[in-house]
Structure 1
């Protein structure tokens, strides 16, 4: 066995210039693929590392309140110019108080400890400096931050004893240590402080953009110089080598080249990993140590890459091992079976069935059926190319007055129906993945559920929380702000418990739009009806008895106001009692109030947030300050585009490698044609036609499959088919560009390799 292993090693590195070119192409393909796959798995490592650091800095609150610890901690999420700012307010700090990782000691009142990114921002951005008039006494280390660019500050504050009503609030409970479970930050709109736990799921989706094209890429690389290698295996069999021994030689040859490329990709990853700190994908940053992939995962990637390439190489040489004489004499390949169309039809049929079953009320079954059909269709596209190319070549051969170069291309395609599809398989899969991926990007980017809701005029609504008193007079002085004090008051309406709203007309119009032609006058009471359809509540009839707090009785007035919400706040009541109405002044002590701030835009809200944070470190505005948190639409689009870019690179790379290798392998046959007088132009055109025919078929097939599945998705998602098809329209342009690039990659090498040598005229 040793001699056959040695022969495989010899063939992998000593097969002339053509063999060296094939070795270089195959090893570089494996290197690129391994690098990208490890980079994809690194997203899981980054997610895990950030999760651990987020847990380590999370306070552990004593919910019983029995702990003698004096430390109080509240995490507040703010935002500056679209970037999340995390303020951790600490009070009751003593020399024995615990502190989170990354800082030596917690700050005292009038002091702050900041992250490096926030320290730099304080020196350059007045919006940040306006929030922190305190003295900077320290810097948070990497152990206490999620990423190098995180804006975070520990702010010292005076301890304020809680009232009995607020004693159970989390921020008023003693903190005994750090390292607790993740919780909402005060003012946060998403889980945790940008913790990327969902990245574990997203990494799988991103991996599909890498692993599926990489599989096609590796298949292409494993079958480079396929005809030459098949003839070599056939020659060994005719010399008396057994089929098992020939298989061993081929497996060693393929495995050595792939393993060398895989180790090269691993070396590139090990080199780039420490240099990656400061790089980013969209708004995602990471520490260099976070991208370390476990050794078991690295070993698995390397082993599976080599095993996959060896399996492809060995299975593809079955004909050379079982019928070596036919391969050696370059006999025509067998006609592809119609069974190759089965998986593709099954995939498209499954998608159509999902559309039929889920037309009215799609459920989990239809979703799984569609997802399975999506994957099956992508895997089946390369499988269907040989039979379609064979049939198209037969039709061309029957056409009258077919040009010589086209007849030559059709004859070659029918002679070896499995060669050309290998050339274009990766590019076909790439168009399919990019088409559906671009549809996902379009739908996510326009998903209104992921976009902040607010008044169409640009106004924003915030709740003022976190402190007993607020600088209300100063907030009113900020241009573009309105302080709303619209209170809920319990009442009895027609003998049933209900509630009414208490406030001024300005408060009401700050939160709601009035119906056309309607107006509100202070000093009067109004019946209220809300759109749409009064939220399912029965309208209040005029004269209905309404009993307010303190036994104040008032009939429901004749005047009615029809209200439409300006903001997504479910505040309502059957009646409005204005402040100037008789008896209203006695009701304000009994009514519940939530101070609300309405601003004309986010920049105005930012000025209000600066004012509150500077004077009351534990106070904050609860609402949308424009910070991009968690996996919102922008981040999803960024990651999807990154995955699509990887798919595009792999597809073009696989096609380029196959095209160059095909040109080098065809030089002997082309030299024979040149000797008998065929012009270089005809030879080049024949090569272009040989590659262009399956390339056109593959791109058209991928485009049609994408359109079909996009239509099914439109039905299942209850979207307009035209709207969905508009999202994938750029894919057709990309397919045309891929066709043009493919023709160039075939034509240029074929034209430049017309020189005839004696070596090319010898049968290898």
Structure 2
């Protein structure tokens, strides 16, 4: 009978069921997206491994099934561009995933996203960097995501150079990833727990839409003979019908979102729609849990409602809410989390089920404490403008309904504050100082041994100097140095550069061309002291015995060599060995040297960094400039935080949508009341302000409570991670500000239907 009321109750019944279905459906869609995230990430990793050459089988000599593949990645305006140069050496050479044939010399296959970018007017520098003719588009199986920028280019000049250009017979990446440390595993558990708890709260609130009208109908049923148990079963059936509609709508919302996922690029992460496949077991759990929760919530809310034949005894003076049992869930949550304090990365693993249960109990405790807090606070309010009095009186009569609307925001903000505190507290453990000095050089370019002759390095230097926005280029060349041609035990380094360049690696009082310096205080002075003796004959160049390299060059360390204190170069390395100017350096070293070019940019020139990257690329496609940065963050930590941001964005959308649906449902419930007030002469601006106050007061109380709970939970999590308890007030304020912004946006969107409802015609009835 309850199901028949839901579907056959006329316009009122359909409206109520549809509102419930939309509210539940939004939550179900987010749950399905969450269950599909692991499969999407696994698919991304699988495609990345399938095209990787890092641990692929290799061959020493060219053959029918060998392929030379060179790493030619680049960056453009902060976005990574995955690039590879290909030279098949036989008819059976392995074709990379996503390609049906190899691009010829001067040709390239591009991803759809890169094709679109190259066609835009803002990619002129990137087109200069990739001067190949587009002949094919990379298929989905060769990309980690639809928004990835990637290309494969053909080359007839590629040659094998160690790990930079390997000769492979297939593609594979079988390297086992390092296991997550306990704190990172804790962060992942907390992100999922804190983001999904508000979703459950929203679903629980959605199944209670239209509760007051439903109870009045149940009173009419009592009048014609139904008993109290029967009315509760009818109410449960009605809620069950609404939840089933929610499951259908949620599946539809998920399919729409899944199809649109390919066009979304959040924080440089994109997924193919086909990869968003929910786990069958988790999807079945959602399908069973949502209807069960709908029935349970309905029966739980009816426990304090007396439905009699002559009406619903709820408008009478109700007993004040008690606080003691509402404190039990958060206290139980703290009790579960407390035994794990002080563990950190070195103190052992965290029990994931215990952590999840503790966090859920703390966050769910907000939903129990908020109705008590709202009731106590609004009971003491009064006086003021008419709009304020209307709002306060409404809150005093139905404080539970007002709190229910805000519960989701309060839970989401509490979880977000706790997570922000934890991320800020442990960020230092996953952010290390690189020692690099971006103020001295923005980029470093290394021409490795064997990839370029001295003439090619000189041409590279010249190209970079001529690039737009370059203020200075400093070149340092390094090679090996030994007291004997075959003495591998006593070796040190020889650094060659102009006086200006040598001042980047040593503290020099004076310097002129022809000078030589013995560096002291480097990362290892032992061999320097054994080798560097003024007037001694040494051997430089190929002192490590490279098979295809030229023999070492004999060279005499000038007797005038002076000692100098080593200084950190822009890369953050304190060099050891000997530093000389060009005229004092050994001649005939050939390719047995490493050239490092440090580039300082003119900050006033736009896109100076991109101009330099283009110049380097045009000189040698296999060279990748390295941007210098003072700090470097763990990629895993950064990816987990990115996941938090993506999930928080989805939850915020759900918060706004669900709150808007809840607001519209409340306005629909009070349609006749609003019409009556307008008929008596109440100004519409007064009623609009009263609606704003009715939302703002519970939200303010909810944010205050969620801030307190979030700070307590964040402090406990920091104690668990063995990190100092520091409150990031900026993050706390930003989370509260986001909650306020959501409420203001929902209120603004609900004003048009409110104005339509405030008409005397709303009093008409049949």
Give the match's secondary structure for 1:391: helix
Q: 2:446 matched to 1:463?
A: yes
Hey, what's the Cα distance between the residues in 2 that align with 1:48 and 1:354? 30
Hey, what's the Cα distance between the residues in 1 that align with 2:49 and 2:691? 61
Cα distance per residue 1:504-558 (max 9 Å; x no partner): 343883683554x74444444434345xxx6697999999968774697899966
Change (3 A) 1:631 1:18: farther
**Stretch moving more, 129-138 or 373-382:** 129-138
Asked if the contact 1:522–1:578 (Cα under 8 Å) also holds between the matched residues in 2, the reply is yes
Change (3 A) 1:625 1:97: farther
Cα distance per residue 1:677-696 (max 9 Å; x no partner): 99999999988777655443
Structure 1 residue corresponding to 2:496, chosen from 497, 504, 509: 504
Report the counterpart of residue 484 of structure 1 in structure 2: 476
Change (3 A) 1:111 1:452: farther
- Show the 5 A alignment for 1:328-339: 328=313, 330-337=315-322, 338-339=324-325
Report the counterpart of residue 576 of structure 2 in structure 1: 573
Hey, what's the Cα distance between the residues in 2 that align with 1:110 and 1:743? 58
Q: 2:322 matched to 1:341?
A: no
Q: 2:517 matched to 1:526?
A: yes
Report the counterpart of residue 195 of structure 1 in structure 2: none
Asked if the contact 1:500–1:572 (Cα under 8 Å) also holds between the matched residues in 2, the reply is no
Give the match's secondary structure for 1:560: strand
Structure 2 residue corresponding to 1:104, chosen from 100, 103, 115: 100
Q: 2:23 matched to 1:38?
A: no
Runs (5+) with no aligned partner, structure 2: 179-183, 466-471, 540-553, 602-608
Residue 384 of structure 1: how far off its partner (Å)? 0.6
Cα distance per residue 1:119-153 (max 9 Å; x no partner): 56566745444455555554433332333443433
Asked if the contact 1:122–1:129 (Cα under 8 Å) also holds between the matched residues in 2, the reply is yes
Hey, what's the Cα distance between the residues in 1 that align with 2:381 and 2:694? 12
Residue 481 of structure 1: how far off its partner (Å)? 3.7
Hey, what's the Cα distance between the residues in 2 that align with 1:739 and 1:112? 50
Give the match's secondary structure for 1:95: coil
Report the counterpart of residue 196 of structure 1 in structure 2: none
Cα distance per residue 1:420-456 (max 9 Å; x no partner): 3213212322433454566689899998659995522
Residue 98 of structure 1: how far off its partner (Å)? 3.1
**Stretch moving more, 341-350 or 551-560:** 551-560
Asked if the contact 1:454–1:460 (Cα under 8 Å) also holds between the matched residues in 2, the reply is no
Residue 594 of structure 1: how far off its partner (Å)? 2.6
Asked if the contact 1:147–1:286 (Cα under 8 Å) also holds between the matched residues in 2, the reply is yes
Report the counterpart of residue 586 of structure 2 in structure 1: 585
Hey, what's the Cα distance between the residues in 2 that align with 1:481 and 1:291? 48
Asked if the contact 1:72–1:92 (Cα under 8 Å) also holds between the matched residues in 2, the reply is yes
Hey, what's the Cα distance between the residues in 2 that align with 1:735 and 1:230? 32
Cα distance per residue 1:637-681 (max 9 Å; x no partner): 765444333333333333333344345445788999999999999
Asked if the contact 1:75–1:88 (Cα under 8 Å) also holds between the matched residues in 2, the reply is yes
- Show the 5 A alignment for 1:389-428: 389-396=374-381, 418-428=400-410
Report the counterpart of residue 10 of structure 1 in structure 2: 4
Report the counterpart of residue 150 of structure 1 in structure 2: 148
Residue 266 of structure 1: how far off its partner (Å)? 1.9
**Stretch moving more, 736-745 or 109-118:** 736-745
Hey, what's the Cα distance between the residues in 1 that align with 2:634 and 2:26? 30
Change (3 A) 1:624 1:365: same
Hey, what's the Cα distance between the residues in 1 that align with 2:387 and 2:118? 70
Give the match's secondary structure for 2:73: strand
Report the counterpart of residue 71 of structure 1 in structure 2: 66
Give the match's secondary structure for 2:154: strand
- Show the 5 A alignment for 1:651-666: 651-665=655-669
Asked if the contact 1:489–1:592 (Cα under 8 Å) also holds between the matched residues in 2, the reply is no
Report the counterpart of residue 4 of structure 1 in structure 2: none
Report the counterpart of residue 607 of structure 1 in structure 2: 614
Report the counterpart of residue 194 of structure 1 in structure 2: none
Hey, what's the Cα distance between the residues in 2 that align with 1:611 and 1:744? 54
Give the match's secondary structure for 2:624: strand
Report the counterpart of residue 623 of structure 2 in structure 1: 620
**Stretch moving more, 375-384 or 204-213:** 204-213
Residue 76 of structure 1: how far off its partner (Å)? 0.9
Residue 340 of structure 1: how far off its partner (Å)? 0.6
Give the match's secondary structure for 1:317: helix
Report the counterpart of residue 368 of structure 2 in structure 1: 383
Give the structure-1-normalised TM-score. Answer: 0.74
Give the match's secondary structure for 1:425: helix
**Stretch moving more, 411-420 or 373-382:** 411-420
Give the match's secondary structure for 2:594: coil
Asked if the contact 1:34–1:301 (Cα under 8 Å) also holds between the matched residues in 2, the reply is yes
Give the match's secondary structure for 2:321: coil
Cα distance per residue 1:602-621 (max 9 Å; x no partner): 335413432244xxx6x323
Residue 564 of structure 1: how far off its partner (Å)? 2.5
Give the match's secondary structure for 1:32: helix
Hey, what's the Cα distance between the residues in 1 that align with 2:208 and 2:340? 36
Structure 2 residue corresponding to 1:564, chosen from 561, 564, 568: 568
- Show the 5 A alignment for 1:192-341: 211-230=196-215, 232-233=217-218, 241=226, 245-271=230-256, 273-293=258-278, 297-320=282-305, 328=313, 330-337=315-322, 338-341=324-327
Structure 2 residue corresponding to 1:28, chosen from 22, 27, 35: 22
Runs (5+) with no aligned partner, structure 1: 1-6, 185-189, 192-198
Residue 215 of structure 1: how far off its partner (Å)? 1.5
Give the match's secondary structure for 1:62: coil
Give the match's secondary structure for 2:568: strand
Asked if the contact 1:663–1:750 (Cα under 8 Å) also holds between the matched residues in 2, the reply is no
Residue 573 of structure 1: how far off its partner (Å)? 1.2
Cα distance per residue 1:164-191 (max 9 Å; x no partner): xx6x75844441x34x22679xxxxx99
Give the match's secondary structure for 1:566: coil
Report the counterpart of residue 734 of structure 2 in structure 1: 730
Give the match's secondary structure for 2:586: helix
Hey, what's the Cα distance between the residues in 2 that align with 1:705 and 1:106? 59
Asked if the contact 2:102–2:154 (Cα under 8 Å) also holds between the matched residues in 1, the reply is yes
Report the counterpart of residue 596 of structure 1 in structure 2: 596
Change (3 A) 1:721 1:634: closer
Asked if the contact 1:444–1:633 (Cα under 8 Å) also holds between the matched residues in 2, the reply is no
Change (3 A) 1:331 1:239: farther
